[in-house]
């Protein structure tokens, strides 16, 4: 393929350099060249003038995501929602529930489900569900906000937690520094984030608050723990 | 041929201006080659993606590497093409000698290389704005999006250096072929041969040369590394062509 491209360039270069002047007047060629230069200068200048929306790479993002992921695990095992500094609440649900039994099940199951269940004497005829997640990072880019929240449905005493069935692929674009000047600008290529393939998925923690009298059961794929309320 | 009555500077100027007119089509090919490179670059130069259960996270990388490589091929070709017979024979309508013809050729090539270098640098950055506008389904990662002014000028300068090197190589090859057509067979044969020498050990000629230039982190040293072969190739080409008969 590369060879075909090179041959194509040489062919075009030969044809244009041999025949272009016969069909295009010299003055016209220079006018086109000047216009080409002006367009390039304007486009390059626009890079500095036109505000561009995007996200900055964050060298600390990966460490922060790892810390948050560990914090989620500790919160689950200790039964406390504390120390979750870099963890965000992705979504809250409040669902009507009159029964005495709540069975937790899943749809599109993948990965681990960490669920903390809390009994609340104040809650009656409803359950509250919150989904906490740690940052998702790919090559120093935090894309947590682009990840769709999971879905929750409650039917006949069965609470279904489902993965993001509507999640679209997340696409980024990045402009690389010119390869032939990289060695002058960034000789220490080891620290270049382009070489970093680090990725960390966001860990999730479900917090389900049920009325005090409700008995809770769950499928085997769930890691279930009770909140240690003081 | 005697030039005693003719001012060398005005002769050079006339030949140089003539070449800007007669060889103006190299700029058409430059624009076509670069526009072609832009079209190929719109698909991205590389892509990194990672699966995340039900979805994929991907980063599309864009660079001007292809534009640079296409322009390098263009520089090599224009170095060869200034020695093409139609161009060469037309110069005999001027009162001139081989030295002045070579000097004006070199001056024209340097001019073309400067234009090529400037457009290579600018095309790489101008393309970014265009890609940003057309890529509605991708989010931009800021970082190297708008280069510093230093990077912009560095990019142009380094591109000019490499173009000068390749057009000097092309000019030397064109002179050899002009000297004897057998070189038209020997040179491609040598090129193919060099492709295979010591490739097994990862020390092939082209790999070594690529590393010799691309891993040079001092701009001054790179300048000297490029200047040295240019200062050898152009005088040798001039000496070789000086030995040729008129209208060879």
Cβ(B217)–Cβ(A184) under 8 Å? yes
Question: What is the mean pLDDT of the segment spanning A21-40?
Answer: 82
A residues 127..156 contacting B (CB < 8 A): 136, 138-139, 141, 143, 146
Residues in chain B with CB shorter than 8 Å from the CB of A141 are 59, 141
Distances (CA, A) of A97 to A101, A163, A218, B43: 9, 22, 16, 52
Q: How far apart are CA B124 and CA A12, in angstroms?
A: 21
pLDDT in tens, B149-190: 899 999 999 999 999 999 999 999 999 988 888 888 888 888
What distance in Å separates the CA atoms of residue A97 and residue A95, rounded to the nearest whole number?
6
pLDDT digits (tens, 9 = 90+) for A58-104: 888 888 888 998 998 888 888 888 778 888 888 999 988 888 888 88
B57 with A169: CB under 8 angstroms?
yes
Q: If you measure CA to CA, which chain A residue comes closest to B41? A: A175
The pTM score is 0.81
Chain A residues close to B74, C-beta within 8 Å: 9, 13
Interchain CB distance below 8 Å, A29 and B27: yes
- Separate counts of helices (H) and strands (E) for chain B: 9, 3
- Record: contact B63-A178, CB cut-off 8 A: yes
The continuous run of DSSP H or E covering B30 comes out as: helix B25-41
B193-233 pLDDT, tens per residue?
Answer: 887 776 666 677 888 888 899 889 899 999 999 999 999 99
Long-range contacts of B45-51 (CB under 8 A, 24+ apart): B45/A176, B48/A139, B48/A197, B50/A138, B50/A197, B50/A199
Name the pLDDT band for A38 (thresholds 50, 70, 90). Answer: very high
Q: For A33, name the nearest residue in chain B, comparing CA atoms only.
A: B27
Which of B37, B50, B52, B112 would you mutate first to test chain A, the one with the most A CBs within 10 A? B52
CB-closest option in B29, B45, B145 to A16: B29
What's the gap between Cα B175 and its chain centre? Answer: 17
In this complex, do A39 and B140 lie within 8 Å of one another by their Cβ atoms? Answer: no
The residue of A58, A180, A187 whose CB has the most chain B CBs within 10 angstroms, and thus the best one to mutate to test that interface, is A180
Cα separation, A128 vs A211, in Å, equals 9
What's the pLDDT at B92? Answer: 62
Residue A206 C-alpha from the chain's centroid: 19
Of the ranges A18-32, B130-144, B155-169, which is most confident? B155-169
Contacts with B, A 34-63, CB within 8 Å: 36-37, 39-44, 46-48, 50, 52-57
Alpha-carbon gap, residue B27 to B44, rounded angstroms: 26
Residues B68-112: tens digit of each pLDDT: 999 999 999 999 988 776 666 666 666 667 788 889 999 999 999
Helix (H) or strand (E) holding A55: strand A54-55
Q: What is the pLDDT of residue A22?
A: 60
B23: which chain A residues are within 8 Å (Cβ-Cβ)? 17
Instruction: Compare CB distances from A40 to B32, B126, B155 and report the shortest one's residue.
Output: B126
């Amino acid at each position: 393929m590369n060879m075909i491209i090179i041959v194509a360039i040489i062919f075009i270069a030969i044809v244009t350099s041999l025949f272009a002047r016969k069909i295009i007047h010299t003055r016209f060629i220079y006018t086109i060249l000047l216009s080409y230069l002006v367009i390039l200068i304007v486009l390059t200048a626009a890079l500095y003038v036109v505000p561009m929306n995007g996200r900055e790479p964050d060298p600390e993002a990966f460490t922060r995501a790892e810390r948050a992921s560990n914090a989620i695990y500790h919160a689950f095992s200790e039964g406390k929602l504390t120390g979750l500094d870099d963890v965000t609440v992705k979504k809250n649900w409040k669902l009507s529930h009159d029964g005495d039994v709540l069975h937790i099940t899943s749809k599109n199951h993948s990965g681990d489900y960490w669920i903390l269940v809390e009994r609340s004497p104040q809650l009656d005829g409803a359950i509250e569900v919150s989904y906490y997640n740690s940052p998702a990072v790919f090559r120093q880019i935090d894309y947590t906000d682009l990840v769709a929240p999971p879905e929750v449905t409650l039917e006949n005493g069965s609470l279904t937690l489902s993965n993001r069935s509507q999640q679209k692929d997340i696409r980024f674009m990045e402009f690389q520094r010119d390869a032939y000047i990289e060695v002058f600008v960034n000789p220490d290529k080891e620290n270049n984030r382009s070489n970093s393939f680090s990725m960390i998925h966001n860990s999730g923690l479900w917090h389900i608050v049920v009325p005090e009298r409700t008995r809770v059961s769950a499928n085997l794929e769930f890691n279930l723990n009770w909140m240690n309320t003081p | 041929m005697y030039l005693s009555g003719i001012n060398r500077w005005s002769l050079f100027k006339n030949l140089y201006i003539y070449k800007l007119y007669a060889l103006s089509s190299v700029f058409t090919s430059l624009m076509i080659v670069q526009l072609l490179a832009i079209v190929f670059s719109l698909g991205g130069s590389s892509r990194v993606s990672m699966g995340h259960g039900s979805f994929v996270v991907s980063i599309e990388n864009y660079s001007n590497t292809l534009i640079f490589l296409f322009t390098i091929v263009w520089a090599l070709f224009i170095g060869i093409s200034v020695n093409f017979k139609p161009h060469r024979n037309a110069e005999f309508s001027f009162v001139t000698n081989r030295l002045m013809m070579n000097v004006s050729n070199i001056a024209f090539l340097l001019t073309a290389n400067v234009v090529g270098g400037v457009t290579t640098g600018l095309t790489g950055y101008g393309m970014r704005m265009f890609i940003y506008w057309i890529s509605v389904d991708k989010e931009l990662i800021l970082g190297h999006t708008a280069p510093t002014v230093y990077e912009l000028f560095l990019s142009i300068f380094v591109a000019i250096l490499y173009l000068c090197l390749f057009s000097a190589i092309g000019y030397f090859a064109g002179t050899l072929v002009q000297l004897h057509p057998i070189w038209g067979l020997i040179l491609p044969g040598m090129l193919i041969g060099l492709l295979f020498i010591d490739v097994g050990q990862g020390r092939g000629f082209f790999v070594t040369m690529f590393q010799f230039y691309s891993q040079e982190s001092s701009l001054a040293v790179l300048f000297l590394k490029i200047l040295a072969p240019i200062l050898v190739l152009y005088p040798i080409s001039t000496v070789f062509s000086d030995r040729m008969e008129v209208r060879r």
